Amino acid sequence: MIDIDATTIFDKVGQEIAVSDWLEITQARIDQFAEATGDRQWIHVDPVRAAAETPFKSTIAHGFLTLSLLSTLIRESIQFTGLRMAINCGLNRVRFVSPVPAGSRIRGRITPQMVSRVTDGGIQVTWQVTIELEHGEKPACVAEWIVRYYPA
Contact between 58 and 30 (Cβ < 8 Å):
no
Backbone angles phi, psi at 114, to 5 degrees: -150, 140
Q: State how far Cα 63 lies from the chain centre.
A: 10
Beta bridge partners of 106: 23, 133
Residue-level pLDDT at 65: 98
**HSE of 57 in the Cβ direction (CA atoms, 13 Å)?**
1
Please give the domain boundaries of the chain with CATH numbers for all domains: 2-25+61-151 (3.10.129.10)
* pLDDT tens across the length of the chain (152 residues): 677 776 688 899 999 999 999 999 999 999 999 999 999 999 999 999 999 999 999 999 999 999 999 999 999 999 888 888 999 999 999 999 999 999 999 999 999 999 999 988 899 999 999 999 999 999 999 999 999 999 88
Reported as type and span, the H/E element at residue 93 is: strand 83-96
